[in-house]
Structure 1
């Protein structure tokens, strides 16, 4: 049975009479064939049928007694061929290990893989789909159902339910394995269990990808079952939404992808989410789709801005903002607050794409920012005034990030200029060019003093006197989230006052920039 799970899934896709390219990934492997013969041969493998292990670390013994020698430990979800019965034990054969033995009947669930067993197995799948900790068992039961159910059922709503359950089991198992701690004895034991469950899933043909991210392993399901759900006309809106969300998880994007491949993938993911009809979804699920759309369209806006900086970037940023604005915050469960804040930061990072850059105007007292191309892939920021133009600027600094020229603002005294620069997707810094004596220098204020993840630092207003400025910062890094409103010294960018509540800073109430207040998402 374990060897035929995905050949059976291929048979479902063929019976569904649909075009799989509607949900094909940029590079999708071809599916195996020959499902019908494999299924019939497995179903007739033994007159006693099969049994699926339902307990972790179930003992396979040499004789039907607790005192008999233990041959090996079995894990939930593993399938065994039943060859006989002795007392309260079943005599079984383990094809994976090529070993026979005896196992307690209470440690397994017997399945006959006949059509009559199909409805019962599907009922169990529906129950287990939302039961954490039993993913490997759920995958084994899914394999049993796919063999027991007739083709007519598999090509309709029941087949979509089975594939939805299979994808949910695999995706949740990958999430649990990625988050499992390993520094304690209990964590190591849990890690061993999860490793065994992943091995069981792999035995059924369920595939996972693994990436190293900041010293830890990120395990992700490859999404085969979800892609097939999207290709089935019998799948309902909820199933399609769950499948699209699973296929667009940002943490499952290969961090080593080249920039052009990453942009191609993100564009595909954004288009995939567009195929989800959110009108009839439950509010919490609709919110998740719209938050994911907002994050992806902001990524598309960043990539478009890096490419040519044309109207395509503004259109993508506008779409990101519209999707984020459609999220109902009152319908957000606690576990979705992280995704909501991350979506807000990603949209904030590209919001300047919505504002066209005006032609720089410099006079004797107020400098202006000019952006010119530098080395291949670089943009160079030049600060000019009426006396010193682009050929001999007051200061020049280049970056491989996106320079949002429309964000440039000069203080009343003409001694400081604030500029938004986005070096990475979802991470926007604040450049402050200030006059120091007869020269000009550039200081950079990041969203947080951590490795770049998600966040922004943005100008919020000038304080008269030329000594202070107002800044809003929001970031997530090293597992921590923080949003703050700060009074910052222009000279050196040291924070003088900081708070999480903008109303508690009188300088913010008096001198905040009207344009910032109108456009920022930090006041949400």
Structure 2
């Protein structure tokens, strides 16, 4: 992290302060200054300071009341740290806080430097990145853009990854890494771990080969706290760590299944389910409740990795899989009584086929199967007889996506090919969960839908006992 070395530093404390050509209000405006801008003080005239702006390579005059001056001496370090502690929790003051952190790093003797200042820089930078990701008004956009330029001057890197066609601003986490490298408190380490492992800051363009080591590193970061340190944290922070761990381990289960490592994938899926189950739901804030919903969808998408492979069916419908094109799996529907006969239907996919999820209806004319194209998106395939032929319907969690969601089998309605499903998705920031009765030939449109399964009579009579025992949707 690079900071400009100044002899006497003036920190701008007001947005849109004017840098003027002379020491008077009527002088021409040279530039617009923003909170957190650092200026080198070179003199004073009346109620103006003569300064040099290294970021813009321009000199001028600024009102003394719009800046705070520090000589960057060790004696000033405690005062600078006190101001930093105040502004680190003030929304909108992120650039100003980074400026005070820069001044403190120059003033404090090396022997007294601890993790607190890096914890503050990471917290401020992460919050500024989150603010930049929101959809503010035009004036707010200009302010945030200016604050991003200010912190960039101090070496705080806030880049972006593309998600769903939009740029997602994210802090690169350098200060958080320093916190983990220093003898830090449990709360400081927890904040650093959460800041470094955000799901929305994972680059969606990463290949599977690149994604697995990243997820493994995220899991290691989240597990750095000892059992004693974890127990000493506030319950809300413990919940936040459990939710993040659940999502990361669910992604690991998906990645390890792709690499044909069933034992590792099963352990990862069990870990994800365990972390989600350990969440204390009575201690969730509004923001944490949203994170809980997202974590549950991530865990549910990969939960079949924790289930054993099915035993071969003695009679009725079954599936078998074989390799197709490189990276492709072909699913064949077969009559278990005639396994060597020609497949009744076949379809190939680059997603994960969860063979343990296959469920045939009692009439033997339909079968449901879970297929997971992405680590956060699980579809439901329905093989069904249509006259003398067999067709395959691929039913997604939502019409728009993929972003985050799953659609899972919950039971068959006897005497028909209708089935019970649980559906949950997050699309364009909105989460929806429902329990439905649907016919596959309607493209996934529900005949009946409710927010809870006990509001649909068919669920009380026909829900699959294994689904009720295993599902995350009934949390």
Q: Does the TM-score normalized on the shorter chain lie above 0.5?
A: yes
CA offset digits 1:448-472 (Å, max 9, x no partner): 1111111110111111112421111
**Aligned mates of 2:411, 2:354 — CA distance in 1:** 17
- Match for residue 502 of structure 1 among 441, 453, 456: 453
Measured in 2, the distance between the counterparts of 1:412 and 1:85 equals: 89
What's the secondary structure of 2:231's corresponding residue?
A: coil
1:479-498 alignment runs, 5 A limit: 479-492=429-442, 493-498=444-449
Q: Distance in 1 between matches of 2:261 and 2:325?
A: 17
Q: Which residue of 1 aligns with 2:86?
A: 127
Deviation at 1:386, TM superposition (A): 4.5
Indicate conservation of the 8 Å contact 2:81/2:104, yes or no: yes
Indicate whether 1:83 and 2:42 are aligned. Answer: yes
Residues 9-158 of structure 1 mapped to structure 2, 5 A cutoff: 42=5, 45=7, 49-154=8-113
Alignment deviations for residues 85-130 of structure 1 (CA, whole Å, 9 cap, x no partner): 2222112122222322211111101111111111111111111111
User: Partner residue of 1:205?
Assistant: 155
Deviations 1:120-176 (A, max 9, x none): 11111111111110111111100000111111110xxxx211000011111111111
Q: 1:170 — aligned with what?
A: 125
Residues 15 and 35 in structure 2, CA contact (< 8 A), matched pair in contact too: yes
CA–CA distance in structure 2, aligned partners of residues 357 and 98 of structure 1: 67
Q: Deviation of residue 375 (structure 1)?
A: 1.8
Matched, 1:273 2:222: yes
Residue aligning to 1:249:
198
RMSD (Å) for aligned C-alpha atoms: 1.5
Q: Is 1:434 the counterpart of 2:393 in the alignment?
A: no
Counterpart position of 2:269:
317
Aligned match for 1:448, one of 398, 402, 418: 398
Residue of structure 2 equivalent to 1:238: 187
Q: CA deviation at 1:360?
A: 2.2
SS of corresponding position for 1:267: helix
Deviation string for 1:165-208 (max 9, x for gaps)?
A: 01111111111112134xxxxx2222121111111111111112
Of 225, 228, 244 in structure 2, the residue corresponding to residue 292 of structure 1 is 244
Q: 1:213 to 1:386 in 2, by over 3 A?
A: closer
Q: Which whole-Å CA distance do the structure 1 matches of 2:293 and 2:273 have between them? A: 13
Runs of 4 or more off by more than 4 Å in structure 1? none
**What CA distance in whole angstroms lies between the structure 2 residues aligned with 1:420 and 1:84?**
72
Q: Name the count of aligned residue pairs.
A: 471
2:10 touches 2:70 (CA, 8 Å); kept in 1? yes
- TM-score (norm. length: structure 1): 0.87
Provide the residue aligned with 2:473 in structure 1. 522
Equivalent-residue separation in structure 2 for 1:99 and 1:472 (angstroms): 62
Q: CA deviation at 1:490?
A: 4.2
Structure 1 counterpart of 2:292, from 340, 343, 346:
340
Which residue does 1:33 correspond to in 2? none
Distance 1:357 1:501 in 2: 29
The aligned residue for residue 374 of structure 1 is 324
Within the alignment, does 1:413 sit opposite 2:363 as a pair?
A: yes
Q: Is the 8 A contact 2:318 2:336 kept in 1?
A: no
Contact 1:298 1:350 in 2 (8 A): yes
Alignment match of 1:261 (pick from 196, 200, 210): 210
Q: In structure 2, how many angstroms separate the alpha carbons of the residues matched to 1:391 and 1:200?
A: 70
Q: Which runs of 5+ in 2 are unaligned?
A: none
Give the whole-Å Cα distance in 2 for the aligned partners of 1:512 and 1:172: 44
Matched with 2:146 is: 196
Say whether 1:475 aligns with 2:425: yes
User: What secondary structure does 2:320 align onto?
Assistant: strand
For the residues of structure 2 that align with 1:93 and 1:491, how far apart are their CA atoms?
Answer: 71
Render the CA deviation track for 1:349-399: whole Å, top value 9, x for unaligned.
111111111232243xx1111122222111111111156435611111111
For 2:115, what is the secondary structure of its paired residue?
helix
1:13 alignment counterpart = none
